[in-house]
Structure 1
Amino acid sequence: MTVLLQISDTHFGTERPQVAAALLRLVDALSPDLVVLSGDITQRARRRQFAAARAFVDALSPTPTLVIPGNHDIPLFNPLARLFYPYANHQRAFGADLEPSFESPGLLALGVNTTRPYRHKDGEVSMQQIRRVAARLETAGAAQLRVVVTHQPVAVTRAQDEKNLLHGRERAVQRWARAGADLILGGHIHLPYVLPLHDTFAGLPRRMWAVQAGTALSWRTRGTIDNSVNVIRHEAGGVEMRQTTVERWDYSETSESFEMIARHELALDGAQPAIAVTVAE
């Protein structure tokens, strides 16, 4: 069993300390194979905010992490830094590679930097990035869950969120599906959901799912949704025997801990194109 924990939109600088402590306890309990931070690590890309984020990631050790930047991780109020060294603070904290990857017998996870200094909030994926990711996906083993991580979403559930869609998503989704991708993880809009991309994009050659995370730590929550993370479990047993579930865990103000509130059982490859949702009591 491979366990992946998706954390997104931590927005250090607006984090809730009690929620951060609860999330560390959840990581300790789950012992995931990988923790993915899918962008907007900080609120305003300031050095002290990245230092706090780095300290949090260090507390996850020895669990491996995959960290990509979000639009909030590029300076907004320092135009010179935004123009000439937009990722300096991010790279100081998390290393030079803005598109890290992780591979194990049961998992291939590929990070994609969809931020652009010339865009305020919108994300973009280039043909070069699309081809690079596709080439890696095509090398994946039959038992691996193949995951692409972006910051901005490739599909949304509400019309008002369409303005946040990733530019270049149509070409990316089609090409990555042909290359064998199973999941595209994203954040940005602080709204957790799971969508079947094979129902959203016409002509996809395989089942593929968008998995969106809420905000893990910030007080900048959306509507009635509290802080939220995703736990993805994958049972490797060959293409026809792969079983994958996505669990949504929300922070409970009552218990001061993360609790599972929904489970999505995903159909992959030759299985029926359906999604079963179980709401935890």
Structure 2
Amino acid sequence: MSVLLQLSDPHFGTERAPVVEALVAFAHALRPDLVVLSGDITQRARRAQFAAARRFVDRLGVRCLAVPGNHDIALFDPVARLMRPYAAFRQAFGAEQWEHESADCLLLGLNTTRPWRHKNGELSAAQVERVAARLAGAAAAQLRIVVVHQPVAVLREEDRRNLLRGHEPALRRWAEAGCDLVLGGHIHLPYVVALKGLARPLWAVQAGTALSSRIRDGISNSVNVLRWDGHPGGSCRIERWDYASAGDFVRHSVSEARPLR
């Protein structure tokens, strides 16, 4: 069984110290196979903030794969934003696009930020096709996951402006290629939604903010835990865990995604 821990939008520079300690303890108890960090790692893309994020990830004791968010590109340094937008990110976390493969899981991470955009994300045709080719070549037992920063589905009309640009053709293409889940963050709201009108079942899995004081609508800091056994006809269990007043993370809800195999 693969166990994945999804963290998003920690916004180092605004992190809550007690939540940091609670999440380290939670990760040590969970012992996931992989930590997935879906963007907005820092608040202002400062090297000290990236260094703090790297120290936190190292404390988890688990391999971490990260994609950048719009906050991970310098906002107030136009030269750095245009000439070396991902320098600090790469120094802390390596390449901003990656993949992870095991016997029962294939994860593909994409950089959906654009240095010339302040907030909105975007997918290129080349990114969509590269991911589709890898998804199509996955083994039957592998859960096929794409990780982006901005959401591909929202629940509230007010959040439509935050949708990832190009998400509709990308979802159609990725569903045809066998995608099961698309993980994202950006809007600090955790939810799981089944996407309709596609070639096969596909779920959007959104994470809230893992560590930041910038919580939204009174929703506590939260993370997602994904569990997948790889069995034909099985389901992926998606658990939302929230930071509680007692000072630890507690399970809030459970959703299930049932991929076609």
TM interval, short-chain normalised: over 0.9
Residue 212 of structure 2 corresponds to residue 218 of structure 1? yes
Give the structure 2 partner of residue 275 of structure 1: none
Inter-partner Cα distance in structure 2 for 1:65 and 1:109: 12
Residue from 172, 175, 199 that aligns with 1:174: 172
Deviation digits for residues 187-206 of structure 1 (CA, Å, limit 9, x no counterpart): 00000001111x2xx3x111
Structure 2: any 5+ residue segments left out of the alignment? none
How far residue 128 of structure 1 moved from its aligned partner, in angstroms, is 0.3
Residue 181 of structure 2 corresponds to residue 183 of structure 1? yes
- The alignment partner of 2:226 has SS state of strand
Give the structure 2 partner of residue 121 of structure 1: 119
Give the structure 1 partner of residue 227 of structure 2: 233
Residue from 241, 246, 250 that aligns with 2:242: 250
Runs of 4+ in structure 1 off by over 3 angstroms are none
Give the structure 2 partner of residue 39 of structure 1: 39
Answer whether contact 1:183 1:211 (CA < 8 A) is retained. Answer: yes
Deviation digits for residues 62-94 of structure 1 (CA, Å, limit 9, x no counterpart): x22110000000000001100100001001111
Give the structure 1 partner of residue 128 of structure 2: 130
Count of aligned positions: 261
What are the within-5 Å matches in structure 2 for residues 45-60 of structure 1? 45-60=45-60
Answer whether contact 1:143 1:242 (CA < 8 A) is retained. Answer: no
Q: TM-score, normalised by structure 2?
A: 0.98
Residue 63 of structure 2 corresponds to residue 72 of structure 1? no
Answer whether contact 1:41 1:69 (CA < 8 A) is retained. Answer: yes
Inter-partner Cα distance in structure 2 for 1:141 and 1:125: 25
Deviation digits for residues 141-179 of structure 1 (CA, Å, limit 9, x no counterpart): 111110000000001000000000000001110011011
Give the structure 1 partner of residue 255 of structure 2: 264
Q: How large is the Cα RMSD of the aligned pairs?
A: 0.9
Q: TM-score, normalised by structure 1?
A: 0.91
Identity %: 59
Structure 1: any 5+ residue segments left out of the alignment? 271-281
Deviation digits for residues 100-149 of structure 1 (CA, Å, limit 9, x no counterpart): 11111111110000000011000000000001111111111111110000
